[in-house]
Amino acid sequence: MPTLIRNRQIVAEPSPPDLVVFEPTDDLAAFAGRIGSLRIIAVNFPKYGDGRGYSIARLLRERYGYKGELRAVGVVARDHLQQMERCGFDSFLLREGENAQDALAAFDDFSEAYQANAAQPAPLFRRRSGR
Amino acid sequence: MYRYDEIDQRLVDERVAQFRDQTRRFLAGKLSEDDFRALRLRNGLYVQRYAPMLRIAIPYGLLSSRQLRKLADIAGTYDRGYGHFSTRQNLQLNWPKLEDVPQILAELATVEMHAIQTSGNCVRNITTDHFAGVARDEIVDSFVWCELIRQWSTFHPEFNYLPRKFKIAVNGALADRAATFVHDIGLHALRKADGEVGFRVIVGGGLGRTPLIGHVIREFLPWPHLLTYLDAILRVYNRYGRRDNIHKARIKILVKERGVEKFRDEVEAEWAHLKDGPATVTQDEVRRIEARFTRPEYEQLADVKYPAAKSPFAAWMKRNVHPHKQPGYAAVTVSLKKTGVPPGDMTSAQMERIAELADHYSFGELRVTHEQNLVFADVRQAELPGLWRDLRDQGLATPNIGLLTNIISCPGGDFCSLANAKSIPVAEAIQRRFDDLDYLHDIGELDLNISGCMNACGHHHVGHIGILGVDKNGEEWYQITIGGAQQGRIGRIIGPSFARADIPDVIERLIDTYLELRDSENERFVDVVHRVGVEPFKKNVYANLDQKPADRRRALAA
């Protein structure tokens, strides 16, 4: 069974039957009206190196103001987790074979980020100059 | 030099720890070959023909003597005592052991260096003009903007898995010495009459299999918007760039397939949402980065005149010494293109010596150029004779900058697993044919570039003469282009390819044709090609190819 991590915790929970899954090629604008009413949205990563889901996550959070649970599904591996979180994901359905306990450490790989991102809307330089 | 602050240093240290753990997991069989490939490439580690290759970042080509000593030490300890400076202003080690790479990265981190994003489908090392900060035609100091972009691109969470690699060049002077028209994004600084600084934004240029010249999508982008605009371009590319075919995945193909107008509209629409957001660059941040760069403390000096005698020193002055914005100072190119030495290669001993010379002559700093040479940017003119003697003793004063033997070349089939053909022996054969310095100076300015395959690491498309290694039924052949230019012109193929042994003759025939056709010494080879076209060159090269040029000249004269 693939393991689910939510808010940096391993949780045992079946996926809801009505899970809305965005594929990399989906047109977000067409869904704009429905996004606010959803409690959970999943974004699929079909390959290890397919980075479209990162942009989709940021758009959902920053453009469409989505506040519910945002779940990464598909090829989701330990070494993706921190950047996914920075793009706005808060839950992660790890691919088969990943060690969830080990993977939790990945959220702390880097203690800072230069960029503005979904998790930290002020880029480092705005916080640096504020010191 | 930009000096790291505590956070810059911490991020690089954390990267070392991350990669150490990834390597450990790979060696323990917990990370697959494919997954580890994506991770190691983002730390510059390739697995090559004979051994791994590690590409160390030299951000925008700027290097301190302390860093060069560390590189010399690493090349001596973990490799075979030499390194190769690439056309991306990086340093490549060709023989490190995979298990040693985390330790090499840890050593690099002690001198504020790394191999972050020197490969992989992400934003690569930012390149710029090697005369940044000292050029007389400077508009802005491009190093400051390169560092700003370096920080923005480092571990960008959204753009770490792009469709393909992504190369950005920044030019801060009037003349374009950063090849901004053949990059995924080229930024060319401009200053309006009222003093406002901004950038011309060029997108979709590139070499490789499909060489294309970039398009200007914005004539003037005021500097505060630089990062939000880059975010907009990258987001459009990340979402819509092709991922079905590796050969069509660069942004140039997206721009071409969509059309420049539509692509620009998409970027502008995306930018409308990001513009004036939190990623808008502040004056404080630009000042902060400026202040973290060390600056040479120039003395008030007068220019020194050297007599234009016919001497080896005068030849070096003419070719390898460049004007400087500060009176009494000059910039000097250290030629790594001595005949018989693979272009861009340098031994640990030479690195040590160069570091000493940089300390003595140029404030302890140097630059790596995309022509695979080094530059001492701040030399007192009065010390030029001393520097010349010291460089000459090391075999680093070949007066050939801008000339035919200043060959730009990838490592080629001797090292690289992608190459179709060798490039280093071709470079050497040409250098040997054109070993007469007077003749070389008479031929004048000429860029000759060699790539061992169509990935074009030797930038053959933009050489005045370009040589491309091609594979024909398992044999090495070479295709010749002429008329390319770093300022944004792609050379044209002259005809069927040649065997390696024929290349020096072919080059000689091209040169003979040029010397016959030029209207004066001021008309360069590339100017003649643009004036008369490829045909006269083609005709001369392919006529009686089995005859030696010298015999043929005699026959023509008779």
Q: Structural domain boundaries of chain A? A: 4-129
Is position B403 within any domain? no
In chain A, residues 2-21 whose CB comes closer than 8 Å to chain B: none
| Domain carrying residue B99 | 6-61+87-109
Prediction pTM value? 0.92
Contact between A50 and B279 using a beta-carbon 8 Å cutoff: no
Whether B14 contacts A105, CB under 8 Å: no
Residue of B nearest to A127 (CA): B285
A5 to chain B, closest Cα gap in Å: 19
Dihedral angle over CA of A97, A100, A102, A103, nearest 10: 100
- The total of other beta-carbon atoms located within 10 Å of residue B405's CB is 25
Instruction: Tell me, yes or no, whether B114 lies in a domain.
Output: no
**A23, A58, A110, best to mutate vs chain B, most B CBs in 10 Å:** A110
With CB atoms and an 8 Å threshold, state whether A52 touches B239: yes
| CB atoms A82 and B159 under 8 Å | no
pLDDT one-digit tens code per residue, B420-457: 899 999 999 999 999 888 899 999 999 999 999 988 88
The amino acid at residue A63 is R
- Which of B338, B369, B393 terminates a domain? The answer is B393
Q: A23 and chain B: CB distance < 8 Å anywhere?
A: no
Give the CATH number, domain containing residue B387: 3.30.70.3340
Pair (B445, B530) in one structural domain:
yes
10-residue block means of pLDDT along chain B (558 residues)?
A: 97 98 95 94 84 93 97 96 88 92 98 97 96 96 98 98 97 94 97 97 92 96 98 98 96 97 98 96 96 96 90 94 97 92 88 97 96 95 98 94 92 83 92 90 94 91 95 91 92 95 95 95 95 96 70 48
Q: How many CB contacts within 8 angstroms connect chain A with chain B?
A: 105
Mark out the alpha helices in A8-108 (DSSP H runs).
Answer: 28-35, 52-58, 81-86, 100-103
Would B71 be classed as within a structural domain?
Answer: no
Give the number of domains in chain B. 4
Last residue in a domain, options B365, B393, B421? B393
Q: What is the CA radius of gyration of chain A?
A: 15
Q: Assess whether B28 and B92 both reside in one domain.
A: yes
Residue A16 is predicted with a pLDDT of 79
Contacting residues of A for B152, CB less than 8 Å apart: 114-115, 123
* Predicted pLDDT of residue A36: 87
Together in a domain, B501 and B533: yes
For B97-154, what is each residue's pLDDT tens digit? Answer: 999 999 999 999 999 999 999 999 999 999 999 999 999 999 999 999 999 999 999 9
Identify the segments of chain A with pLDDT beneath 70: 1, 129-131
Decide if B219 is inside a domain.
yes
In this structure, is residue B69 part of a structural domain?
no
Spatial distance between the Cα atoms of B495 and B539, rounded to a whole number of angstroms: 10
Best mutation target among B117, B123, B155 (most A Cβ atoms within 10 Å) is: B155
Please list the residues that pair with B368 across neighbouring strands: B374
The residue among B363, B393, B423 that closes a domain is B393
Best of B161, B228, B290 to substitute, by most chain A Cβ atoms within 10 angstroms, is B161
Together in a domain, B354 and B258: no
Q: Taking chain A, what is the end-to-end CA distance rounded to the nearest angstrom? A: 46
CATH topology of domain A4-129: TIM Barrel (3.20.20)
Q: What CATH code is carried by the domain that includes residue B205?
A: 3.30.413.10
Rounded to the nearest 5 degrees, what angle is found at the Cα of A127, between the Cα atoms of A122 and A129?
130
